[in-house]
Chains A and B, each alone.
Chain A
Amino acid sequence: MATFNKINSFVEAMAEKVHNLGADQLVAALTNAANAPVATNTQLSNLTQISYTNLSSRNFTTSSSSQTSGTYKLVLADLVLTASGAVAAFRYVVPYNDTATNDELIGWWDYGSDLTLASGETFTVDCDAGNGVLQNN
């Protein structure tokens, strides 16, 4: 499973009403190996995204945004990206908040090297329901 990396400004944004992760629409941005996200990025305009031609919806489905015994956990359903034709290579999947004013970034998964999808192929972002996409305690 790809490691989840945190955007530094996300933790501050969480505390300053930028996000309402229980209701906001989260979306996956994709970037390639030559345009890696870094922890000091803050918003979508900081990224150089790939072309999304021939790619299905990148909207995440939120399942839970809650705390247990003081530990917050965001749980998303898996995201299946389906190609209806050739899709540009990508290495990083970067969830961002599409409802927030500046499309603030949350973090990113690094899949190790550029991946390509041919028509009919799928790519699943496994969001690990048990542990949540992110925890805050």
Chain B
Amino acid sequence: MQKIIEKIEAAQAAYIEAVATKPQAEAQKLGAEVKALRQELAAKIAEGAVPCSVRWFVDKAAGLVPGKGCGNLPHGILQPNGFEICCLACGDARPRAHRPRGLFREQAVAAWNVEHDPSTRDAAIKRRLGGVQ
């Protein structure tokens, strides 16, 4: 993962220099490389995560309630103090403290999977609804 991060930093530096000094088409090409590397990093972080199967949304009367997820693979984010797994398609109405994070990426993926794997999902939802919403 560190290698991808270093590649992103180098690619972004090359892109920023190109924006100021090179033809637009060349800068755009370098920009696309930065974006592709970021997608590669996100996929690496989320490796092993199951597809999104639950979407939390806010109901005026009931508060946070679970609904059906979108089925897309989640996105991994390198946060300042660890890793976060989230669904870019669904979004998440829950407060930050309830989104799957971990000091290590495997922890974040495991936390995501507990909530989205059909074999553990229902129990996780029950626990969530029984606790702080």
Contacts and interface: CB of A to CB of B under 8 A. Distances in A.
Interface of A: 1, 20, 22-25, 61-66, 68-69, 73, 75, 77-80, 99, 124, 126, 128-132
Interface string B86-116: 1111111111100100000000000000000
B28 A20 contact: yes
Nearest to B27: A20
A19 B19 CA distance: 11
B35 to A, nearest CB: 4
Contacts of B30: 23
B31 A23 contact: yes
B42 A63 contact: yes
Interface residues of B, number: 33
A77 B77 contact: yes
Query: Is the contact region of chain B dominated by helix, strand, or loop, or is it mixed?
Result: mixed
10 contacts: A22-B38, A64-B75, A68-B88, A75-B77, A77-B78, A80-B81, A99-B19, A129-B86, A130-B91, A131-B91
Nearest to A80: B80
Nearest to A20: B31
Contacts of B93: 130
Contacts of A128: 96
Contact of B89 (A62, A65, A68, A78): A68
Contacts, number: 75
B101 to A, nearest CB: 10
B77 A129 contact: yes
B35 A22 contact: yes
Interface of B: 12, 15-16, 19, 28, 30-32, 34-35, 38-39, 42, 72, 75, 77-81, 84, 86-96, 99
Contact of A62 (B38, B91, B95): B38
Contacts of A68: 72, 88-89
A69 B90 CA distance: 11
Contact of B35 (A23, A124, A126, A132): A23
Contacts of B78: 61, 63, 77
A20 B86 CA distance: 23
Given A63-B75, A66-B88, A23 B12 contact: yes
Contacts of B95: 1
Contacts of B19: 24, 99
A23 B87 CA distance: 21
A61 B49 CA distance: 22
Contacts of B34: 22-23
